[in-house]
Amino acid sequence: MYFLMIQDQVTFVSIDIILILCLVGSISIENADFLWTSNEPVLKNINLEVNPGEKVYVVGKVGSGKSSLVMSLLGEMPFSTGSVCVTGKVAYVPQQAWIYNATVRDNILFGSEYDKDKYDKVVTATSLLTDFKQFHAGDLTEVGDRGMNLSGGQKQRIAIARALYSDRDIYLFDDPLSAVDSHVSRYLFDNVISEYLKNKTLILVTNQLQYVPYADKVVFIDDCMYVALLPD
C-alpha cells in the first residue's frame, strides 16, 4: 500500500489497484475497510462516489463511525482493502474548533494574503460581523490564551470562516453546526452551505435531520458499517 500525491490530487490505493485519475473535487471509495492500529476494521466495506460540487450528508448515531469516515478522507486512517481517491485541495472543519494566539483576522487568514472583498464575503456568510462590533478592536482583537476569550460558537464560526477563505475544492465539515444555536445554525446552512459553497464539494457530518432533504446524497452509518446511500 502506498501514498501518492499528484499535483493537487491526493490518492490512496492498494498496490494491486489500477490508479484512475478522478476529476478535481471528486471522491471515490471502493470496498474499503479502514482501521487504526488493530486488525479489526473501524469502518467496513465502505463504498462512496461523490461528484464535483455534490453535497453529501453523513448521518448516524453517536459513535457509529461518522467522524472516522472524515478521518479516512483526510488520509489519517489507513485502510486494508479497496481504494480511496480524494482529488483536489481539502479544507477540514473539526467538531472541536481551535484558535491560536493572534488576532481574529489572522485566525481566519491563516497565512493567506488579505483580500478585503473576499474577506468581507466570508465573515458575512459566517455571521461574524456582529461579533466584530462587540470586540474592542473589531477583527484585530487578540484572541487565544493571551487574548480575549471566545465562546464555542464564535470559535466554530471562525473555523468555518478559515475554511471558506482557504478556497478549496473539497470541504469536510465534521458536525460544526452542533456548536451553535438553532438560529445561527440555520443562518450558516443558508449562507455557507447553500450559497457560498454551492459549487464546491461538501461532506457534512450532521444529526440535524432538518437539513437532510437538501443533500444530493445521504450516507447512513450504523455500528461502523456503511448501511445505505440515499440519492436525492
Q: What is the pLDDT of residue 42?
A: 80
Domain residue ranges in the chain = 2-88+212-231, 93-210
Question: How far is 41 from 84, CA to CA, in rounded Å?
Answer: 15
Q: What is the pLDDT of residue 56?
A: 95
Find out if CATH 3.40.640.10 is the number for domain 2-88+212-231.
no
pLDDT tens-digit series, residues 56-69? 999 988 877 788 88
pLDDT tens-digit series, residues 161-217? 999 999 999 999 999 999 999 999 999 999 999 999 999 999 999 989 999 999 999
Find the range with the poorest average confidence among 40-49, 54-63, 113-122, 184-193.
40-49
Based on its alpha-carbon atoms, the radius of gyration of the chain, rounded to whole angstroms, reads: 18
Q: The domain 93-210 belongs to what CATH superfamily? A: P-loop containing nucleotide triphosphate hydrolases (3.40.50.300)
Q: What is the pLDDT of residue 9?
A: 41
CB-side exposure of 28: number of CA atoms within 13 Å? 17
Residue 203 DSSP SS3: strand
- b or e along 72-84 (b: 16 or more beta carbons within 10 Å of the residue's beta carbon)? bbebebebebbbb
- Does the global pTM surpass 0.75? yes
